[in-house]
Structure formats: structure tokens, C-alpha cells
Structure 1
């Protein structure tokens, strides 16, 4: 079982990404494709991590100002920006104990 953090996009929802975690990406993407979206989500980036809860929480906290809805995992942000921060969080976590990361607009 893998710990996966993912960045998903959907052509029907431009400029919005979903940042989440799962142990089964295929099943997770399938579950998101329901009657509320006209086309399936696409995996922009996904990686296995040691502590998926920590990494996801850092991304959610860091991009909190870009949330579309405070109770959902959708953010109005360039997916490439999320990927670059995700990679930095993973590298930093390997080197130091991270307490939190906060993105500034």
C-alpha cells in the first residue's frame, strides 16, 4: 500500500486543482468522476511519500488563501506551482523537521 499525494486537474474546471492524498490513486480518481463533473479528473502529478498526512496538510495550509471553498480540497492556483512546492516540502522534510509552510500571494 502506497502513501500518495496528488495534484489533479479537470478540463471542465479550468484554473482549479485538487490537492489530496490516497493509498490508491486509480480508485480515488474513479470515485471523483461522478455526476457532478462532466469529464474525469486528470492526474497532473502524484508521488509516494513517507508521511502523506503531513505533506498534504503542509500543501493545504500553504495554499489556504487560494482555496475555492474552505471545506474542500480545491485551490485556484497553477498546478506547476503546487508541484514545485510539493517537491520542496518533500526535500525539506528529509533534511529538517518542518513545523509549517505558508504561501504568500
Structure 2
């Protein structure tokens, strides 16, 4: 990974060394500085939000954050992602919901190397403290939409899928230390606002990685949410 320099204003009390600093002190974070698991992320990310690293996309921010945790510690042994993916070759509008300890993009690429003739598309992802239990939680929330009890495919709307993943992430947040006072890592994909051109209503929608059509919550006008060009 390229060690691109990232100017960053540390939150109050945080330090690039994992200790304490003067509020607002400037430092430079390089993409590889915390990727080898040296030290704890509880110092660097305490009080920070994912959006405080704007030069990197949400997924890269999430990868950097999760890679920085010391996996020898009990609370970080099962960190990972829950993802939703779809395949255009499927007749039915179904989503695969799984868990991964590697980046969701890499995991979806692995799915695309299977027997399907079109690649899977990553639709949504969340990072969680226990990927196995969080996956089970999401599956339980969507149980009525499960196509086959033995498979991880669900015929639900994309909004319902995103909502289930968000609830699983809220149920299994990633702690930034050993106690609740340390806080938790913020969400990777923050909801966005789609403003209605007819009535001006700001419609809050999940930051999906695919384009969708939504109905304005006030006047019912159909609106388009355009997916980002790069999921990273």
C-alpha cells in the first residue's frame, strides 16, 4: 500500500503514538503507519470520526482503522465487515449477505470467481466488532426474506438490507478501548441527503454503492440516488 501522507488534526487527547497530546495538534499520518498492528488504535482514533480522513474513501478509512487494532486483544480478535452484494445475472432481486475479515471489495471479487458468469456488485457494508455474530444478527433480522435456509441469499429491498446491516453494526460496535468511556468507531458509510427538486424535502438515505430510485417522503416524487464512481 502506498504510504501517502495524510495531514490530520488529532482530536482532543489523541496522539499518533497512542498517547496524549495537546488539543488540535497537527501531525501527519501515513497510510502504513498503523497497518502492521503495532500499538492500539484506541489512542489515535479516540474521539475521531471516519470523516476526519477526507483524502481517503470510506472503505480505505475503514480498512486503515481495522488494521490498526491489535488483534491479540480479546475485543479485536473478531473484527471485520458484514457486506451485501448482488449479481445482475440472477433473475430474482436477491442479495447475498455475508461476513469477511478481508475488505468487502476483495471478498466480493472472490465471489465473482465462482460459477456465476457475471461479477457480483458490492451494495453496502458495515464494520463490526464480531463479524460472525453480527452476520447472524443481520440474517435473523431478514429471516422472512431468506430464499433458502441453507444459503445466505435474501429477497428483500435494498433499503431493508441496508437497515439490517446498520442495526447489526449498532449491536456490535467496535470499541476504541477496554471500557465504554473510550467510545466506539463511527460508521463507515454515513447516510446522505437527497433533496427533492419539487418540494425541497431533504430525504436521508443510506450511502449505498449502487444507484437507486427513491420516493420523496413528503410529495412522493421519484428521485435518483447516484452511486459513487469508486466504492473505496
Q: Normalising to structure 2: TM-score of the pair?
A: 0.37
The structure that has the greater radius of gyration is 2
**Superposed displacement of residue 35, structure 1:** 5.4
Q: Which runs of 5+ in 1 are unaligned?
A: 95-105
Per-residue CA deviations over 1:57-79 (Å, capped at 9, x if unaligned) read 01112212211111110111112
- Deviating beyond 4 angstroms after TM superposition, the runs of 4 or more aligned structure 1 residues are none
**Which residue of structure 2 aligns with residue 52 of structure 1?**
131
**Which residue of structure 1 aligns with residue 157 of structure 2?**
78
**Superposed displacement of residue 93, structure 1:** 4.5
Structure number with higher relative contact order (C-alpha < 8 Å, ≥ 6 residues apart): 1
Q: Which runs of 5+ in 2 are unaligned?
A: 1-66, 68-78, 174-232
Let me know the Cα RMSD of the aligned residues: 2.1
**Which residue of structure 1 aligns with residue 116 of structure 2?**
37
Q: How many residue pairs get matched?
A: 95
d(CA) in 2 for partners of 1:34 and 1:68? 22
Higher helix share goes to which structure?
1
Per-residue CA deviations over 1:33-90 (Å, capped at 9, x if unaligned) read 2453121100000121111111110111221221111111011111221111221232
